[in-house]
Amino acid sequence: METTSVALHSLNPHISCYICKGYLIDATAITECLHTFCKSCIVKRLEFEDVNTCPKCDCLIHRSNPLLGIKADRTLQDIVYKLVPDLQCREVLREKIFCEMKDIPYPKHHDIVIKNKQLQVVDSAPQRVVDAVTDDRVCIQLETKTSELQQLPRKYICCSSFTTIAHVKKLIAKKLFCDLEKYYTVDILCNDEVLGKDHTLKFIYVTRWRSKEPPLMLYYQPRMNLMSLNVTQQLNTEL
């Protein structure tokens, strides 16, 4: 298998911000056209310059609230950090120095350590301490509500904040019954309340779990009307 070397400067147009011309930091993409910029650059343009179009192609981002039309691009940011040596370390140092100068707490759990004679950024947060909800993800814990259904082998899941209860039900149906079509036989509950299939995880977290510790606890059980039907059939059999 042949290895091809590529000069970093040839990749610069693909990993640089169109606004500031520097390497992408906190890469953020416009969902309409998928052009990507530094988060601070695009947010500053949308909020303070009162512009709701893409700086690169003039595509309309959002009519009323442009900030709803942008989304973090973690994959591209990881690529940038891997391609540009020490970029992440330098950025973390700048952020920490800025926070110290402004006397504000550093919001991230990043430490700089030496590994293999190189500076590397590591996550210093405890394994269990994770933000339960961000702009694009929610951490949930799935538990069975009854002995009629088995416990999932992996009950801790981190997924998109736009994931709906219907998606969660299909996941349970796939894992327990090996049949996606049986998702309708399962109810999902939060705080003993049966959740609608179209509710997103972010909506549920904000409306039903905001004041509680993460992760978001969801329980599953056989659908209520099916349970009642089984009880009725059992009574009729006994009579």
Closest CA to 58 of 28, 26, 88, 35: 35
Closest CA to 96 of 124, 64, 55, 126: 124
Helix (H), strand (E), coil (C) string for 10-24: HHHHHHECCCCCCEC
Q: Domains of the chain, with CATH numbers?
A: 10-84 (3.30.40.10), 88-124 (no CATH), 138-228 (3.10.20.90)
Residue type, 54: C
Residue type, 228: S
pTM: 0.49
Tokens 């070397």 belong to which residue? Answer: 5
3-state class (DSSP) for residue 61: coil
Closest CA to 219 of 132, 143, 139, 141: 143
The pLDDT, as a whole number, for residue 227 is: 47
- Distance, in Å, from the CA atom of 217 to the CA atom of 140, rounded to the nearest integer, reads 6
Question: What are the distances in angstroms from CA 203 to CA 5, 87, 125?
Answer: 47, 36, 26
The pLDDT, as a whole number, for residue 204 is: 92
- Distance, in Å, from the CA atom of 186 to the CA atom of 224, rounded to the nearest integer, reads 8
Closest CA to 61 of 44, 48, 49, 46: 46
φ, ψ dihedrals at 103, nearest 5° = 55, 45
Which residues, including other chains, have CB under 8 Å from residue 181's CB and lie 6 or more apart? 173
Q: What is the pLDDT along the chain (239 residues), one digit of tens a residue?
A: 677 788 888 888 999 999 999 999 999 999 888 899 999 999 998 888 878 899 999 988 887 788 888 888 888 998 999 898 888 888 888 888 888 888 888 776 666 555 555 556 666 555 444 444 555 788 899 999 888 899 998 889 888 888 899 999 999 998 998 888 888 899 999 999 999 988 999 889 889 998 888 899 999 999 876 444 444 445 445 54
- Distance, in Å, from the CA atom of 196 to the CA atom of 187, rounded to the nearest integer, reads 9
- Distance, in Å, from the CA atom of 122 to the CA atom of 111, rounded to the nearest integer, reads 5
Omega into 215 within 30° of 0, i.e. cis? yes
- Distance, in Å, from the CA atom of 170 to the CA atom of 7, rounded to the nearest integer, reads 46
**DSSP code of residue 236:** H
- Distance, in Å, from the CA atom of 186 to the CA atom of 4, rounded to the nearest integer, reads 52
